[in-house]
Structure 1
Amino acid sequence: MASFTLPALAETPDAWGPPAEPSGSHSVLPPDFEGIPFVPFAKSDKIGRIADWNATSDNASVAGDRGRGGRSGRGGRDGGAQSYGAGAAASTFAYFHGDDEATFSVVDNAKAAPRGRGGLASFSRGRGRGGARGGARGAAPTRGGARGTGRGGVAARGGAARRGGWKDWDKPQRVRDPSVDVGAEWEQLEEIDFSRLSKLRLEVGEPTEISAHGTLYEYDRAYDRISSVRFEKPLQPLDRVRYNPTTHDDPILLDEAAKPAQAGADGTAAPVRIFATDSILALLMTANRSLYPWDVVVTVDPVGNIFLDKRDGGAFDFVSVNENAADPPLDANEAAALADGKDAKSATAVNSINTPGNLSLEATFINQNFAFQVVNEKKSKQLPGGPNPFYDAAAETDTLASCGYRYRKWDVSSSADEPVEIYVRTEVDALLPPASKGAAPQYITIKTLNEFDSRAQGAGGAPDWRSKLDAQRGAVVATEMKNNSAKLARFAVQSILAGADNMKMGYISRANARDASRHVILGTQWYKPREFAAQINVNLANGWGIVRTIADLARKATAEPGMTSKFVLMKDPNKQVLRFYRVPATWGTEDDEELGEE
């Protein structure tokens, strides 16, 4: 094996470099290095040229004389100057690498270009349709890979990239308004981005049933026979009453909050109690999927109880449509900005029925009426806790919808020294009769997916349900999971919180794409809530961690013990950020008083 030993050099304090002949009888330089001249270099010389191992080694130039003109090989640019080490000692710096490269090989793991299939695929190779449009011809298209469009962007078939359209750069930036105006007296306490939310974790056990109220109807099995779009049924508008009050308007939760918190039998402290509804809790647990703005009012009462409330007319009362689509529906202002200066056809988008607000109202109408229609009101069961706590039979005559309220409690303590409990009002929509005699009935929730117009702006690339729902239902569901990730995650979490055994999903479409008032049921499908949540990657431990973090922020930010403190947690309308504000304790009540006077 080759080795190199560094020679010992004598000290020469009176001169530069090694002495020619030291006190010994032989030179300090090895014999191989004797006779190499010392060449002084100017600042402009490239002394790194001596390490050019690819240069031809000969008596004229060892490393760098690539042509007859010297260093650059461009016809005497360097004046034919000799390189360092030229002369008798040229072979000293010569390196022969032929033997080393003889055993070197490169493994080519690149995918081979797909073979032509004839027809349009072969035609596209010659015209550049599958490759870069307007670029090099003959580029082979790749199935499922990126395709150059030459029109301002790159599209991906089956991927996440979006096809850029003509004048894509000229589109105005989408700016949404906040769900509530931030007051001048508000104080921002915390700003949490979604990347931090996704890292939170809290494992929570099974809940404890407190009580159950309301009347549930049996699900009508006749709607399971809609196995094809050929057997579609019209969606019938029904006049039914269903209550969805906020936490502070729930008498059952207020009764629980009025009871003093009990310390543990083993001497542990009394637990901190949180009160919420399943709709508020589900939105918080899936907050990192939301794009539209929303807000939650957090109130800490003098005892230390934490209430999570919604505002009337907020995001909790309506169902969003294609919120997570790559190109979500445009609202009136955005449509007006796009139509400004354009033709009259584009200007009609201002009053379109496919704006986010109109689509949300339509989806909420569909979701409620489908749940009203698919139950058999002749077969009912009252839950053991009693009738609907929000219905006054003496003052109201409207027909109640099928709805059961299950009040449940979870232990969300992170340590035994600091117990925390959360009380939640959950809702179930109907029940299934027991499969065998003596078995308990099963609770179910009823939800819908709706199609408005597969060719309209904001459809998110959804296929036409009437032609694809029977043969490619998986593709339809996958597209909905992509375009409505936040909505479906909320559906799954609400069903899990309510302890529902099954979730019934209805596929509803417009009878006419231009008429938002008439709809038909194209199909139905059963899902297990936990399996459905796993299918759309909903992590309940992450959701409980988000809820507990928000409760801890409210507790730490409480100004004075024994006083009521109020906060607002709001989703930034244009960023993936949650903002936590301290607001005056009277905020919100003033608006309610003004509405009452009007």
Structure 2
Amino acid sequence: MSGSLLDLVKALPTDPSWGPPTTTETMLNGVPYAAFSKGDKLGRMADWTTEGKDREGRGGRQQYNQRYRDQIYGAGPALQTVFNIEGQNEENTFSLVDNSRTTIRTRGFGRGGGTVFRGRGQRGGPTQRGGRGTFQRVGGRGGQQGYDNRGGRGGRGGRRFGWKDYDKPQRNREASVQPKDSWKVVEEIDFSRLTKLNLETGDGEDIDDYGFLYYYDRSFDKQPGAPTSVKKLNVLERAAYNITTSNDPVIQELAERDEATIFATDNILSMLMCAPRSVYSWDLVITRHNNKIYIDKREGSSLDMVTVNENAADAPLEISEGNKDSINSPAQLMMEATHINNVFPLQTVIESDTAKREMPHEHPFYNASEETDPPASKAYKYRRFDLSLEADPEPLHLIVRTELDAVVKNNISGEDQFLTIKALNEFDNRAQGSGGALDWRTKLASQRGAVVATEMKNNSCKLARWTVQSILAKADLMKLGFVSRANPKTSNDHIILGVLGYKPREFAVQMNLNLNNGWAIVRTFVDMVMKEPDGKYVLVKDPNKPTIRLYNVPKDTFEEDEGDGIGMSVVGEDGEE
């Protein structure tokens, strides 16, 4: 075996039945050629992704490549020498200019990379931030990210997951009404399509006014959160009415006089106009009769209840979803909030038979000979809006029954201003479902804007509905009360921490509430019903998807569950209606 490698290759037996044919050539177009041997073992594949040893001189894979990448496996030392000589000749044609290592100090961001600009701030473009020691991250995963001066990393962008967020149960809410086999789907529309609609409508006109209003007690307008403004929420027994559209005698009279085509109440209409903000399931009953459309609610509908933190990222859990605190479940919170909104407006007015604002017509629902409790301060304004389009052959009008809660004298002009009074409630800012709410007792006085902004986020649908109702009633001011539990562990006693006043249209701008979009939603569903024959239809919000479905239902649907349709409620000492 003292011969050369070439002689050894020639001496090996050949088997033409497998493998490539052997050759005696050692050059291929002037390039040294390593002969193939069937007995060679494959050492490693060629790695074309490595550019050599890293800048820091670390070992590992790069160092392995540097040492062994030029070796040829399966060939003898003679052919290896040929390749090495060729490589040396190529390297000799280059001259080394600088062999000093340049160290680039970088700031690691993990996944996403990006660049940090820091140092003394200066005035620049809209993407630059001034100030000493301020900097920002550009690019990277999740968009723009900020870092504090201590070098801490901010969020990655997008949704921020909480502790064991992956382990939380999937929300499977129940529908407000279960569709039956006899119901036929007429149309299904998602919220993304509804939010793109737009219909310009005027301010509306007054038709008739009913009821009376007491004057608002200005003592509630003291500094919110101050010890002097804290008052106990009292329960007063007053007769309150919440009658649906088709059972309203005034609306029935207006329909007979052919004053409009569509009829609704502000509570029902606000839900339809603010539908894209809703999360919980709700339903409406739409009846078409003699080319007239009546938008009603069911007996015991969820529209009569006031939701709590419906739009929070981590909304309150049901008992079936693992909530161990029953008083903070969605159903119990809605009952608590509804009770507060029934009794709070009664306490904020000064009841006086001599100082009150009488409307041209008497209370449409109160009968003094039959009722034992006095009526609550309430005025009903029936107003008409024009929903017509230029292409409509006939005008399309809508009449809505709106409500006002109190009246107050303007400090400058002395004129009467109409108010709507609502109440936000705090149950426990440390409990699940609080939505990151601040402690009202300590923050309402010093951080009023932050408290209101958090409520706008967690209760977007509820506040939008209240704002729409105030605008529909042409109210001058909307009073928002802040009511908290006396003890977070019980929902029986409450205290009033303060009251804030807002102009409805300015509040709508702060909430990014577009009334033209709401009117377009109403017109869209009205057109759907107008294309169908006379009958009864049900509009249902899907409990788990941002979708609304319109069903054609039998005429006797819900009639077996309805009572006399009076809709009166008496607020008692226990808070139940």
- Contact persistence 2:223–2:445 (CA under 8 A): no
Partners of 1:469 and 1:239 in 2: how far apart?
A: 30
Q: Aligned to 2:171, which of 174, 181, 188?
A: 174
Partners of 2:404 and 2:30 in 1: how far apart?
A: 95
Alignment of 1:45-64 (within 5 A): none
Identify which range, 439-448 or 352-361, moves more after superposition. 439-448
**Equivalent residue number for residue 257 of structure 1:** 255
- Contact persistence 1:226–1:522 (CA under 8 A): no
1:376 aligned onto 2:363: no
Deviation at 1:160, TM superposition (A): 5.5
- TM-aligned CA distance change 1:225 to 1:400, over 3 Å: same
- Contact persistence 2:267–2:469 (CA under 8 A): yes
**Equivalent residue number for residue 160 of structure 2:** 161
Deviation at 1:184, TM superposition (A): 0.8
Deviation at 1:571, TM superposition (A): 0.6
Partners of 1:436 and 1:459 in 2: how far apart?
A: 40
SS at match of 1:370: helix
Over the residues paired in the alignment, what is the CA RMSD in angstroms? Answer: 4.0
* Structure 1, gaps ≥5 residues long: 1-35, 40-48, 56-65, 99-105, 115-138, 148-155, 262-271, 339-345
Q: Aligned to 2:302, which of 315, 318, 342?
A: 315
- TM-aligned CA distance change 1:294 to 1:314, over 3 Å: same
Alignment of 1:102-121 (within 5 A): 109-112=115-118
- TM-aligned CA distance change 1:230 to 1:209, over 3 Å: same
Deviation at 1:565, TM superposition (A): 1.2
Alignment of 1:84-483 (within 5 A): 109-112=115-118, 140-142=151-153, 145-146=154-155, 161-165=160-164, 168-231=165-228, 232-260=230-258, 273-301=261-289, 303-335=290-322, 346=324, 349=325, 352-378=326-352, 379-384=355-360, 386-418=361-393, 419-435=395-411, 440-483=415-458
- TM-aligned CA distance change 1:38 to 1:369, over 3 Å: same
Partners of 2:476 and 2:74 in 1: how far apart?
A: 86
Deviation at 1:275, TM superposition (A): 0.8
**Equivalent residue number for residue 535 of structure 2:** 565
Deviation at 1:355, TM superposition (A): 1.1
1:431-459 superposed Cα distances (whole Å, 9 cap, x missing partner): 1124456x641111001111111111211
Deviation at 1:202, TM superposition (A): 0.9
Whichever residue aligns with residue 72 of structure 2, its letter is G
Partners of 1:422 and 1:203 in 2: how far apart?
A: 14
- TM-aligned CA distance change 1:575 to 1:376, over 3 Å: same
1:377-418 superposed Cα distances (whole Å, 9 cap, x missing partner): 11211112x011111222223211111111111111122434
Q: Aligned to 2:72, which of 63, 69, 76?
A: 76
Higher relative contact order (CA 8 A, sep 6+): 2
Deviation at 1:592, TM superposition (A): 2.6
1:263-292 superposed Cα distances (whole Å, 9 cap, x missing partner): xxxxxxxxx711111111111111111111
Partners of 2:175 and 2:119 in 1: how far apart?
A: 50
Deviation at 1:595, TM superposition (A): 11
Partners of 1:77 and 1:566 in 2: how far apart?
A: 85
SS at match of 1:393: coil
Percent pairwise identity: 47
SS at match of 1:242: strand
Partners of 1:250 and 1:113 in 2: how far apart?
A: 70
* Structure 2, gaps ≥5 residues long: 1-28, 33-45, 53-61, 99-105, 107-113, 121-149, 567-577
Deviation at 1:594, TM superposition (A): 11
- Contact persistence 1:454–1:462 (CA under 8 A): yes
**Equivalent residue number for residue 529 of structure 1:** 504
1:300-337 superposed Cα distances (whole Å, 9 cap, x missing partner): 11x211111011221221100011111111222223xx
Whichever residue aligns with residue 271 of structure 2, its letter is L
- Contact persistence 2:299–2:563 (CA under 8 A): no
Partners of 1:550 and 1:520 in 2: how far apart?
A: 42
- Give the TM-score normalised by structure 2: 0.73
Whichever residue aligns with residue 588 of structure 1, its letter is F
1:118-137 superposed Cα distances (whole Å, 9 cap, x missing partner): xxxxxxxxxxxxxxxxxxxx
Deviation at 1:593, TM superposition (A): 6.8
1:38-71 superposed Cα distances (whole Å, 9 cap, x missing partner): 99xxxxxxxxx9x99x99xxxxxxxxxx99x99x
SS at match of 1:516: coil
1:338-360 superposed Cα distances (whole Å, 9 cap, x missing partner): 6xxxxxxx5xx3xx211111111
- TM-aligned CA distance change 1:160 to 1:498, over 3 Å: farther
- Give the TM-score normalised by structure 1: 0.70
Whichever residue aligns with residue 541 of structure 2, its letter is K
- Contact persistence 1:113–1:140 (CA under 8 A): no
